[in-house]
Structure 1
Amino acid sequence: MRPLFADPKTDFVFKRIFGTEEHKPLLVALLNGLLELDEAHRVVEVELLSAEQRPKVQELKYSIVDVKCTDARGTHYVVEMQVLNVEGFEKRVVYNVAKAYTGQLDAGQTYPDLDDVIGVTICDFELWPQREAPRVPMLSRWRMQEQHGGARGLGQLQFVFLELPKYDASRPPRTVVEKWAYFFREASNLEMVPEVLAEQPFRDALEAARAAGFTEEEWDAYIRAGMALQDERGALSLARKQGLQEGRQEGLQEGRQEGLQEGRQEGLRAMRTALYELLRQRGLSPGAQQQARVEGCEDLSTLQRWLVQALTATSATDALR
């Protein structure tokens, strides 16, 4: 039996709500809400960029979904939903935004032609854990700052993060930001339209996610996206357990230097096995050169990085770059 509303954090539903011409007003509302723009500076219209206009970035296929657009003033936005916390995530966000910035220049254009780019990232995990100081709020904004006097400048690249686990579920949402966080967290669990989301634009967002409105093909695509995400999460979990826990535990149990070395080697072997298995499942058979590189690698973090890259690589060479 279908739920009342599909999960807006999945690839298919996120793009259905915020990445189509039909629902562009919802993308405008999301941007205005998370950017907390005043009336004089609110986004009033956006143009969705075609696939050809989007920068090519290697990333996890199902755990990162994005919509790229530009507003009437020329500001570009990279709006992303990040489900899994992976190694180097912050660097990937900066790279993606910087790529969107530099990708504006065509032959014959000059630097003054560059428009600002703002990255808006919704995280289904704590990027900056609340237990660590200084505490970063649920909605945070980042830009460059002069370190001596604190002056803000170089605002061509800006970053906005909404960390969903930091939402205070002990009370109903009050602000626009809290209502968007509530929508992303709870939509798939709702059995009716709650009063706090009965107003626009949240009601329209729920209607776009209403499962009864999906065709059979769309519902199948949604189910497949959810299964792929679970597979991704399981592959990462397996690699970490095999490569980090089993190997190190084996060495610790020995209590001797020989045992530690043996445990480390066991961890390396487990990580290599997981990498080979993932490449096999994706039909990316490594050649002799790639196998020699894997077998010769003695660094667990490098093997883990290759495993993550293998999730979306188009060849064994790309996976082991």
Structure 2
Amino acid sequence: MTFISPKTDFALKKIFGSVHSQKILISFLNAIVYNNQNVIQSLKIINPYNPGVTNTIKETYFDVKALLDNGSTVIIEMQILNVADFKKRVIYNLAKAYGNQLDRNVGQGYIMLQPFIALTIADFVLFEDIDKMITKFRFKEEKE
């Protein structure tokens, strides 16, 4: 029997981005993001399309996007090739998705912004100076 590599967009979306695979995604996120703690009890797979607010901003699609039961949103991307400026693309996609929560015409305050998690699965060494398989980053003050 031949299996499709989970590194392909198609397979990754079937494994994690299907309404039939919510339990698998919950288990995976609890293991990776929350250190095997059962923080996430439920989630909703949502449209991975991330449009630009204007026609001058690049449109993006995520492999998987889900709304967690705590109000956070998670975006998952699989990257096989180490392309130039990939780290910048990860930050851009997260910042754009985070900012797209607010509708500029409604007058929502920034307090309405919910937490966002960007989970990037890379099939290459992304950080040469770090010898860990899983790395986590937060927007946090440098010394505290």
Gaps of 5+ in 2: 53-57
Question: How far has the Cα of 1:43 moved from its partner?
Answer: 0.9
Q: Which residue is 1:97 aligned to?
A: 94
Greater share of helix residues, 1 or 2?
Answer: 1
Distance 2:11 2:135 in 1: 25
Distance 1:110 1:14 in 2: 35
Q: Which residue is 1:146 aligned to?
A: 141
Number of aligned residue pairs: give it: 137
Distance 1:79 1:51 in 2: 9
1:77 aligns with 2:91: no
Greater share of strand residues, 1 or 2?
Answer: 2
The one-letter code sitting in structure 2 at the alignment partner of 1:119 is A
Q: TM-score, normalising length from structure 2?
A: 0.84
Q: Which residue is 1:126 aligned to?
A: 125
Distance 1:28 1:95 in 2: 25
**Contact kept? 1:78, 1:119, Cα under 8 Å:** yes
**Contact kept? 1:55, 1:96, Cα under 8 Å:** no
Distance 1:136 1:102 in 2: 32
Q: Which residue is 1:16 aligned to?
A: 14
Give the secondary structure class of the aligned counterpart of 1:143: coil
Deviations 1:1-50 (A, max 9, x none): x51x22111011110111110111111111111113464x6111111112
**Contact kept? 2:48, 2:65, Cα under 8 Å:** no
1:138-177 correspondence to structure 2 within 5 Å: 138-147=133-142, 150-151=143-144
The one-letter code sitting in structure 1 at the alignment partner of 2:93 is N
Question: How far has the Cα of 1:66 moved from its partner?
Answer: 1.4
Distance 1:7 1:110 in 2: 43
Assess, with a 3 A threshold, how the Cα gap between structure 1 residues 38 and 83 changes in structure 2: closer, same or farther.
Answer: closer
Q: Which residue is 2:55 aligned to?
A: none
Assess, with a 3 A threshold, how the Cα gap between structure 1 residues 43 and 55 changes in structure 2: closer, same or farther.
Answer: farther
Q: Which residue is 1:49 aligned to?
A: 46
Larger Rg: 1
Gaps of 5+ in 1: 152-321
Q: TM-score, normalising length from structure 1?
A: 0.40
Give the secondary structure class of the aligned counterpart of 1:78: strand
Distance 1:37 1:45 in 2: 17
The one-letter code sitting in structure 2 at the alignment partner of 1:124 is D
Give the secondary structure class of the aligned counterpart of 1:15: helix
**Contact kept? 2:46, 2:66, Cα under 8 Å:** yes
1:31 aligns with 2:24: no
Distance 2:36 2:25 in 1: 17
Question: How far has the Cα of 1:111 moved from its partner?
Answer: 0.7
Distance 2:14 2:47 in 1: 15
Q: Over aligned residues, Cα RMSD in angstroms?
A: 2.1
**Contact kept? 2:48, 2:64, Cα under 8 Å:** no
The one-letter code sitting in structure 1 at the alignment partner of 2:74 is Y
Question: How far has the Cα of 1:58 moved from its partner?
Answer: 5.2
